[in-house]
Amino acid sequence: MDYRDEVYFNSTPENECPFSADELAGRLTRLRRKMAAAKIDMLYIMSPENMYYLSGYQAEWYQAQSPQQWPAGSAIAVHVDHDHYILFDSEREAVLGRIFTRSTDTRRFPREALRGSAEFVAGELQREGWLKGTVAMEFGSYRPNRLISHRLEDAFVAQGARVVDGTQIMRELRWIKTPEEVGYLKEAARIANIGMAAARAAIGPGVAELDVYGEMVRAMACAGGENPGITMPVLSGTKTNALHGLATRRKMQHGEMVLVDLSGVFKRYHINFARTFSIGEPEAEVRDLTDRAARFMELVRGILRPNLPVREFNQLALDYFRQEGLWERRGWIGGYEMGIAFPPDWVGNFVFDPLADENSDAVFAPGTAVNYENQFFMPRHQGQYFTIESFLFEEDQAHMLSEQPFELIVVE
């Protein structure tokens, strides 16, 4: 055994798995029940979010856009009839797996394969008897890319498996959060509030967007926050019409609007807030529009409750903004699920929108968390008034999680 082997296979760092053993066992049991209901014998998981949900596995690098010689390889195989999973990974990540997972069955790719081998995976699973029947893969995930996905699918089929899409199985499973997850979401909200307060304190004439970005990132990191799944926008002036822009060296000016969109992150669970600031008191017609838009959130506070029907929420938004004459000024109104996320996204699987029938018959059940976005174009193309609030639903109550006001916030 050479020195590299000694390090890889004998290093025993402190385990930092983010989830308790009971939590992970419960997740695996619920997943196997969903697989049985869908008549899926094995699920092969490569999306970072789902690997994390099932095992705690997390890394800084997932080989998403790497050279073809370094394919995405780490994965988890789950069989409907077995109460453990198999973690596949490179020997180069042997120590990483010991830090973040509680895996009891980890298979390392051969050294000559470096980071992945479809043939090795298929051979190991075939010897376990896990490739009999229907195998599901996550066709809706960016990881692995099409080349690797086809290679895996062909290797499974060559062993006699029938391959189908299983993208939604774990996405749906993750919709209802456990009490442990709810606690993580509340901590993410605490961190997000610290970040927004830091951004508010940093905004002012002559301050660069990146300066504000740096202050809020530093504040959240010091509060125990982690890197979010999306690079957080800090946008000023008419740049606020491009909500998915990036902070740059542009310096803010008196009289401009400033938009801050961030997520607090704790153990990869995200809570999203956004607020719009005005450097100096805005014009009267701007103040009128933003005040009327902000008042909607008080109506929301009045109906927010566990098991709130999505249709009721959507109708409230539709009726109010039409009544106020704001509907035609909207950018987008709606929201989406909050929870586990890794770069390059923090947008969850469940989406709701007053104009969309999809999910309108659902309810915000206890254990769910969503954000909600108000986007309205201000007079004379000055930018967008943009707010995001996140809601958390528990058994006996529902929460609005932010501490900043919804009205346009004036700074000098």
Mean pLDDT over each residue of the chain, to the nearest integer = 95
Fill in the DSSP letter of residue 124.
H
C-alpha 344: how far from its chain's center?
9
What is the value of pTM for the model shown? 0.96
Strand order, beta sheet including 162-165 = 106-108, 85-89, 75-79, 42-45, 134-137, 162-165
For the chain, the first-to-last Cα distance in angstroms comes to 65
Query: Which band of pLDDT confidence, cut at 50, 70 and 90, is reported for residue 219?
Result: very high
- CB atoms < 10 A from the CB of 12, how many? 9
Q: Are 310 and 352 in contact (CB under 8 A)?
A: yes
Residue 10 has pLDDT above 90, yes or no: no
pLDDT at 132: 95
Q: Are 385 and 293 in contact (CB under 8 A)?
A: yes
Q: What is the pLDDT of residues 22-52, one digit of tens each?
A: 999 999 999 999 999 999 999 999 999 999 9
> Would you kindly state where each structural domain of the chain is located, as residue ranges?
3-173, 179-411
| Reported CATH class of domain 3-173 | alpha beta
pLDDT at 92: 86
Q: Are 391 and 304 in contact (CB under 8 A)?
A: yes
Question: What pairing do the DSSP bridges indicate for beta strands 85-89 and 106-108?
Answer: parallel
The 10 Å CB-count burial string (b at 16+, else e) for 48-86 is bbbbbbbbbbbbeebbeeeeeeebbbbbbbbbbebeebb
Report the half-sphere exposure of 125 (CA within 13 A, side-chain side).
Answer: 34
Q: What is the pLDDT of residues 286-309, one digit of tens each?
A: 999 999 999 999 999 999 999 999
- CB atoms < 10 A from the CB of 335, how many? 25
pLDDT at 114: 67
Q: What is the pLDDT of residues 328-342, one digit of tens each?
A: 999 999 999 999 999
Q: What is the pLDDT of residues 76-88, one digit of tens each?
A: 999 999 999 999 9
Residue of 66, 60, 51 whose CA lies nearest to 96: 60
Residue 1 has pLDDT above 70, yes or no: no
Q: Which two tokens stand for residue 393?
A: 């639903």
Residue of 60, 300, 23 whose CA lies nearest to 183: 23
Which helix (H) or strand (E) segment holds residue 373: the answer is strand 369-377
Q: Which two tokens stand for residue 376?
A: 């309205």
Which listed CATH number (3.90.230.10, 3.30.1020.10, 3.90.79.10, 3.40.50.300) goes with 179-411?
3.90.230.10
Residue 116 has pLDDT above 90, yes or no: no
Runs of H (alpha helix) within 267-350: 284-303, 310-323
Q: Are 253 and 279 in contact (CB under 8 A)?
A: yes
Residue 2 has pLDDT above 80, yes or no: no
